[in-house]
Chains A and B, each alone.
Chain A
């Protein structure tokens, strides 16, 4: 699996937008960019994914650089419930292996 690099931790104020960066300079053309998050004492949950174009859903937005070597997960208005570890993961559509290899992720702290 191609590797991703994320900051170890970030901090944001409640009700403000949060931009979580991810670098994936060795991404291949068939790698999807997925984001998962793990709330305290819970299993990971899916947030969003994309291939080339920016994506929006009810939880977040995903902005993908034109060269696809980096991406940013955007939480438009952070709440205390968004405090979690966020994982940026590349998933290969060619091999359809489907297994997810987790990196260390970014621990997001939300300040009230």
Chain B
């Protein structure tokens, strides 16, 4: 079993829809949770960062962490074609290395 599981998609939704992206994990010691966005032919870039449980909002993006269920989510409101990318969850325990999910390819259709 992988430490971090993420549905690879692809996921295709119409413009304006609410998008929900999810990851589950098995290591209960993970404390830091991140979402990276990767456009085609580019390196990943940090989108959202959360420490421990709870919600964090940044514009149209909301990250949720539920440590009791070992489940994290990224919500995108009012999705735009420019949001089309691969989204990778990542997490780590203390000062250890990052562990990434497989990435979900998202397409927003105009």
A and B pair up: no
* B residues in contact (CB < 8 Å) with A: none
